[in-house]
A and B are shown apart, each in its own frame.
Chain A
Amino acid sequence: MNDLQFRDPRLARLMAATLARQVKEMGRKVAVMHVCGSHEQAIAKYGLRSLFPKSLEVIMGPGCPVCVTDVPEVDEGVLIAAQGARIATFGDMLKVPGSVKSLADAQASGAKIDIVYSPRQAVDIARSTTEEVVLFATGFETTAVATAAVILDNPPPNFSVLSAHKYIPPVMEIVAEMPETRIEGFLAAGHAAAITGSAVFEPFVARHKVPVVIAGFEPNDIMAGLVELVELIRAGMPRVVNMFPRCVTREGNLRAQEQLWRVFRPQGGRWRGIAHVPNGNLRLRDEFAHVDARKRFPIDLTSLWDYAPPALAGQCICGDIMSGIRNPNDCRLFNRECVPENPVGACMVSNEGTCKIWHLYGGVPDLEASA
């Protein structure tokens, strides 16, 4: 596939010039949010921030499913591991802290943790052993459909799933309704939208009167998405625009949606450092109790709290940082109890999290000054 133009830096600079002109003509600050860790990853990897005009603020929203996996969910994984089951999970989950331990800590104390690339690999591990194998499944709907597929494909009896999957559309409602929010438009996650379709955002746009642009992950996809988003804000046109037509259609992947909702049901729950999100968690339906690790293992979270009460998490202000209301220096945990080696909130867990970046570089690095 010819991906060269998607990554042509000259094209990116051209779009940056367009973006600068748009914002200049508006004559004020504009804040937009992306709700996708991979967007932040690409923005960071390619150094796109240095191309954004100063008065355009691109805020990283609650878009990293691993980072927002809540403390009790990690605790559940740690407790199941303590009972001798093998936990199969994605590499990103290893260091995410629970109330006492992360899975990496559990592994250091003898728990069996397998890092897998695909839910399929967890099933393969289960087939190769008589031990109980539990897929600690994290990720948004994009990843949840893969988990659903392995559950529907007759996994062996020693395989089960601890679902910490999250569903994106509800959390956008939360962010849009935050009272002090300055966000005027959203850049939606292209790969999640490949599953749900662009239509899923239409009621949101109607309700909140803010534009949503679906963008891909090549640097120029992101630049083009921002140009379109700022244009919609400037023109006062709240609508859904799909700038990622090579992967996203209006109705989405119907086969995947059918499998997703056959296996999972939405349920309210906390997202780490953000809020209680109604319908934000994906849990297994009762018909799949036989593969539900929560039904197969006794899990008593209070047994962990004898060691240390989950007090710190209550002081974390990740939610405000993600919505652009406050910055890490406003947090009393930042660089004290909360550091990359021992993170409390989502913004310190993620490599691209605001707190992590502030910690590593002493604030947002302004490289333009030295360019």
Chain B
Amino acid sequence: MTAILLPFTSGRVTLKQGGGGRAMRALIERLFVRDFATMPFDGVGVDAMDDGAAIRIGDDWLVITTDSHVIHPIVFPGGDIGRLSISGTVNDLAMMGATHVLGLTCSIILEEGFSLETLEAIQRSMIAACREANAPVVTGDTKVMGRGEIDGLVINTCGIGLTRTLVRDNGLHTGDRIIVTGNIAEHGLAVMASRHGIEFEGDLVSDVAPMNGMIDSILADAALADAVTAMKDPTRGGVASALHEMASKSNVGIVLQEQTLPMTDAVRSVGELLGIDPLHVANEGKALLGVRADAAERILDRLRAHPLGRNAAVIGTCVDERRGSIILDTGFGRRLLAEPEGEPLPRIC
């Protein structure tokens, strides 16, 4: 037998650090937040680790956000990387209250040999998403890299919007209700199922959609807008990760009623087949809202009147115990909900 020397060295970034959980947050905090946040700045900056930044301009806030998009497969049930890139950025703006998008940028990095036909299809779906969101792409950039130097296609989008009502992810108070705007886990499980050859008869498709219209139906009504204490979109890391972040930044505990979580049978079923908890799975067209208890029903009614919010539900309550933690009431008993550590993977046990 010959001895094999490992070509590996330690100190490398792992995929877990991009999964939206604890490991990713630690990486970002260590690498970027600590030093970037030392420069003087009036507004919501990088150290807030919110969905985007907000810069004060007179009585308004200029909200700005950026996102890079990579996904396998590039086209998935219910959408593709083009729709995802526009929706993701529009949604990040909307989560901070900027429901009217001033403009988007779009940078595309392509691998040599990428199919032009696919590229055109992606471009068409970007345009369709822009129309839905009433959000114009105003500038962009294109680069091509050699074969093998990048995997297919990466899209970066940046968005700006103006708002007078800035909504943060850290404003929850004891007694506030938590609303989710619809069925959870559809995006992540649809993508994962298509990767693992699960064919559907049912309706397991990604929920990817721009939500600024739906959010605007709340925020445009001053009485309702006033009752919204926090917003966040549960993308990577799912509802579990987003709620942990909101709870810990707001210094409250959250009791989540599992049986009230809106979820299709298909999601429940694929989750069980692959051994993945839907609470840990990404959404791309859902928002979590913290709202004052007395306004919860009115906000719920308004959300349900919007096509994207038909299945909206109150799923939890903020409490003055176990701050920073999520207590899951399963109907059988109560337990703490753990924060996902990385991208969920199919498991056998």
Direct contact of A and B (CB under 8 A): yes
Please tell me if B10 contacts chain A, counting CB pairs below 8 Å: yes
Q: Please give, as numbers and ranges, the residues of chain A lying within 8 Å of B3 by CB-CB distance.
A: 300, 302-303
Known: A117-B274, A298-B2. A340 touches B341 (CB 8 A): yes
CB proximity to B under 8 Å, residues A26-67: 37-38, 41, 44-51, 64-66
Please tell me if A216 contacts chain B, counting CB pairs below 8 Å: no
- Find out whether the CB atom of B6 lies under 8 angstroms from the CB atom of A304: yes
- Find out whether the CB atom of A367 lies under 8 angstroms from the CB atom of B16: no
- Find out whether the CB atom of B8 lies under 8 angstroms from the CB atom of A38: no
Nearest CB in chain A to that of B328: its residue: A47
- Find out whether the CB atom of A79 lies under 8 angstroms from the CB atom of B335: no
User: Smallest distance from the beta carbon of B10 to chain A beta carbons, Å?
Assistant: 7
Contact partner, B349, options A65, A106, A299, Cβ 8 Å: A65
CB proximity to A under 8 Å, residues B145-172: none
Q: Please give, as numbers and ranges, the residues of chain A lying within 8 Å of B334 by CB-CB distance.
A: 47, 50, 367-368, 370-371
Known: A92-B345, A117-B346, A370-B322. A48 touches B333 (CB 8 A): yes
Please tell me if B222 contacts chain A, counting CB pairs below 8 Å: no
The stretch of A107-115, A127-135, A263-271 that contacts the partner chain: A107-115
Please tell me if B138 contacts chain A, counting CB pairs below 8 Å: no
**How far does the alpha carbon of A115 sit from the alpha carbon of B1 in the complex, in Å?**
29
Beyond the given A117-B346, A143-B348, please list 16 additional residue pairs across the A-B interface where CB-CB is below 8 A. Answer: A47-B329, A47-B333, A50-B333, A65-B348, A66-B348, A78-B6, A95-B16, A105-B8, A110-B8, A115-B345, A117-B196, A140-B349, A303-B3, A303-B6, A307-B6, A351-B338
CB proximity to B under 8 Å, residues A328-360: 340-341, 351, 360
User: Smallest distance from the beta carbon of B74 to chain A beta carbons, Å?
Assistant: 18
- Going nearest first, the 4 A-B pairs with the smallest beta carbon separation are A91-B345, A50-B333, A47-B333, A109-B8
Nearest CB in chain A to that of B259: its residue: A9
Known: A101-B8, A299-B1, A304-B6. A45 touches B15 (CB 8 A): no
Contact partner, A94, options B10, B196, B345, Cβ 8 Å: B345
Q: Please give, as numbers and ranges, the residues of chain A lying within 8 Å of B338 by CB-CB distance.
A: 351, 360
* Dominant secondary structure of chain B at its interface with chain A: loop
Q: List 15 A-B contacts (CB under 8 A).
A: A47-B335, A91-B347, A92-B345, A101-B8, A104-B14, A104-B15, A108-B12, A108-B13, A110-B7, A111-B8, A121-B196, A143-B348, A303-B4, A360-B336, A367-B327
CB-defined interface of A82-125 with B at 8 Å, one 1/0 digit per residue? 11000000111011000011001111111100011100010000
Q: Please give, as numbers and ranges, the residues of chain A lying within 8 Å of B15 by CB-CB distance.
A: 104, 107-108
Please tell me if A138 contacts chain B, counting CB pairs below 8 Å: yes
Select the residue from A51, A91, A138, A365 with max chain B CB neighbours within 10 A: A91
User: Smallest distance from the beta carbon of A369 to chain B beta carbons, Å?
Assistant: 9
CB-defined interface of B316-340 with A at 8 Å, one 1/0 digit per residue? 0000011001011111111110100
- Find out whether the CB atom of B331 lies under 8 angstroms from the CB atom of A49: no
**How far does the alpha carbon of A49 sit from the alpha carbon of B330 in the complex, in Å?**
11
Q: Please give, as numbers and ranges, the residues of chain B lying within 8 Å of A116 by CB-CB distance.
A: 346
- Find out whether the CB atom of B349 lies under 8 angstroms from the CB atom of A139: yes
- Find out whether the CB atom of B330 lies under 8 angstroms from the CB atom of A45: yes
Q: Please give, as numbers and ranges, the residues of chain B lying within 8 Å of A140 by CB-CB distance.
A: 349
Q: Please give, as numbers and ranges, the residues of chain A lying within 8 Å of B328 by CB-CB distance.
A: 47
A residues neighboring B (CB under 8 Å) = 9, 12-13, 37-38, 41, 44-51, 64-66, 78-79, 82-83, 90-92, 94-95, 100-101, 104-111, 115-117, 121, 138-140, 143, 219, 298-300, 302-304, 307, 340-341, 351, 360-361, 365, 367-368, 370-371
- Find out whether the CB atom of B335 lies under 8 angstroms from the CB atom of A50: yes
User: Smallest distance from the beta carbon of B64 to chain A beta carbons, Å?
Assistant: 31
Q: Please give, as numbers and ranges, the residues of chain A lying within 8 Å of B341 by CB-CB distance.
A: 340-341
- Find out whether the CB atom of A105 lies under 8 angstroms from the CB atom of B347: no
- Find out whether the CB atom of B349 lies under 8 angstroms from the CB atom of A38: yes
Nearest CB in chain A to that of B13: its residue: A108
- Find out whether the CB atom of B6 lies under 8 angstroms from the CB atom of A79: yes
Please tell me if B23 contacts chain A, counting CB pairs below 8 Å: yes
Please tell me if B9 contacts chain A, counting CB pairs below 8 Å: yes
Contact partner, B4, options A41, A79, A104, A367, Cβ 8 Å: A79
**How far does the alpha carbon of A107 sit from the alpha carbon of B16 in the complex, in Å?**
11
Nearest CB in chain B to that of A308: its residue: B10
- Find out whether the CB atom of A9 lies under 8 angstroms from the CB atom of B16: no
User: Smallest distance from the beta carbon of A358 to chain B beta carbons, Å?
Assistant: 12
Q: Please give, as numbers and ranges, the residues of chain A lying within 8 Å of B10 by CB-CB distance.
A: 100-101, 105
CB-defined interface of B57-88 with A at 8 Å, one 1/0 digit per residue? 00000000000000000000000000000000
**How far does the alpha carbon of A78 sit from the alpha carbon of B275 in the complex, in Å?**
25
- Find out whether the CB atom of A64 lies under 8 angstroms from the CB atom of B1: no
- Find out whether the CB atom of B16 lies under 8 angstroms from the CB atom of A51: no
- Find out whether the CB atom of B349 lies under 8 angstroms from the CB atom of A66: yes
**How far does the alpha carbon of A367 sit from the alpha carbon of B328 in the complex, in Å?**
10
**How far does the alpha carbon of A91 sit from the alpha carbon of B321 in the complex, in Å?**
35
Contact partner, B6, options A48, A92, A100, Cβ 8 Å: A100
Nearest CB in chain B to that of A360: its residue: B338
Known: A49-B333, A367-B335. A298 touches B348 (CB 8 A): no
Please tell me if B31 contacts chain A, counting CB pairs below 8 Å: no
**How far does the alpha carbon of A106 sit from the alpha carbon of B4 in the complex, in Å?**
14
Contact partner, A105, options B14, B322, B348, Cβ 8 Å: B14
User: Smallest distance from the beta carbon of A104 to chain B beta carbons, Å?
Assistant: 5
**How far does the alpha carbon of A340 sit from the alpha carbon of B329 in the complex, in Å?**
25
**How far does the alpha carbon of A12 sit from the alpha carbon of B347 in the complex, in Å?**
27
Select the residue from A51, A298, A299, A341 with max chain B CB neighbours within 10 A: A341
- Find out whether the CB atom of A109 lies under 8 angstroms from the CB atom of B335: no
Q: Please give, as numbers and ranges, the residues of chain A lying within 8 Å of B13 by CB-CB distance.
A: 108
CB-defined interface of B1-42 with A at 8 Å, one 1/0 digit per residue? 111111111101111100000010000000000000000000
